[in-house]
Amino acid sequence: MAKPERVAVIGAGGFLGTNLARFLASKVGELRCYGRRRSFPEALHGLSWVTGELADARIAETVAGCDVVIHLASTSTPATADRDIVADAEANVMGSLRLMEHCVAGGVGRVVFLSSGGTIYGIPTVIPTPENAPTDPITAYGVAKLAIEKYLEIFRRRHGVDYRILRVANVYGPYQTAEKGQGVVAAFLTRALADEPLEIWGDGQVVRDYVFVADVAEAIWATMHHKSLSRVFNIGGGAGASVLQIAAAIEELVGHPLQRRFHPARLVDVPVSVLDHSLTTNELGWMPAVDLEQGLAQTLEWMRQFRSGQAAC
């Protein structure tokens, strides 16, 4: 596949979307951004933007004629989806299927879908976990991602819309805020800068695979135009870190000790999740370039600027 000229990003206003849109702006001929809201409107200044839900009919115009549609949109998180399983499936599974119908009608060449490496395998039987491991999610969030993945193959077979799936680990970096209850890095940095105690669910031994957002943008770019035999790729940092290790690394960065406040463990957390991304490296030549120390430093730097910007307002 040649480099895509016309690209739509669905869910472009969130954390990953904002980073991705900025990354793609100079790389593609026409970039169309679509989402419920822009978390950082100024960061997307000058980019084409349409406000809408996944279910809105106007999304048809955004995707029509695109070489690639990148689907990042989700109304829920692993922690929230279980609260109303039916509503979550309606919004995210059915919403994604309706998006696919618009992609078929609009002659879209390829859909790149952001799936969830941290929830789709459930409690992993192999660490690090490869793409062909069993997929037994323990959250409605993970089941919805899995269902969408499987339906993409049916749309490919029936309607010829190709796809790539990125099962992404815990993404962190600039433009992630602690507001939506997502992202331990953003939550800890926010607390650290406010001199508040870090909130930890369980004993802090839960291990996650952290990947810097710029690396994820590079991975998406690779799946947008590379030829590959496979369609499902793990995207992770390649090593696990426990919540307590993240806390310690942030302590190191800010240069002073931080209090920890422990809460009961959550049902939705698997004990460990680390992805094997060797297939991605072999087929796409992708590797995470930013290690945890560098990534945390960049994120802290951004968050300091963001907070001083807020304070200035």
- The residues binding its own copies (CB under 8 A) are 82, 85-86, 89-90, 93-94, 97-98, 100-101, 132, 134-140, 143, 146-147, 150-151, 153-155, 157-158, 267
Q: Does 141 participate in catalysis according to the annotation?
A: yes
Whole-number Å distance between alpha carbons of 94 and 109: 21
Shortest separation between residue 129's beta carbon and its own copies, angstroms: 14
Shortest separation between residue 157's beta carbon and its own copies, angstroms: 6
Cis ω for the linkage preceding 130 (within 30 of 0)? no
CB nearer to its own copies: pick between 267 and 311: 267
3-state SS track over 45-102: CCCEEEECCCCCCCHHHHHCCCCEEEECCCCCCCCCHHHHHHHHHHHHHHHHHHHHHH
C-alpha dist (Å) from residue 32 to 42, 60, 278 = 16, 12, 32
CB nearer to its own copies: pick between 154 and 239: 154
Judging by DSSP bridges, how do beta strands 30-35 and 110-116 pair with one another? unpaired
Catalytic residue (choose from 34, 141, 175, 210): 141
CB nearer to its own copies: pick between 37 and 158: 158
Shortest separation between residue 224's beta carbon and its own copies, angstroms: 23
Residues 6+ apart with CB under 8 A from 48: 30, 31, 32, 33
CB nearer to its own copies: pick between 101 and 251: 101
In our burial notation (b when 16+ CB lie closer than 10 A, e otherwise), range 161-172 reads: bebbbbbbbbbb
DSSP three-state, residue 171: strand
Strand (E) positions, 96-185? Answer: 110-116, 162-168, 170-172
Shortest separation between residue 158's beta carbon and its own copies, angstroms: 5
CB atoms closer than 10 angstroms to residue 138: 17
Judging by DSSP bridges, how do beta strands 68-71 and 6-10 pair with one another? parallel
**β-bridge partners, 168:** 116, 235
CB nearer to its own copies: pick between 93 and 303: 93
Which amino acid, one-letter code, is at 23? F
- Looking up tokens 């992805």 gives 275
Shortest separation between residue 233's beta carbon and its own copies, angstroms: 16
CB nearer to its own copies: pick between 267 and 313: 267
Shortest separation between residue 134's beta carbon and its own copies, angstroms: 7
Please identify every residue annotated as catalytic: 141
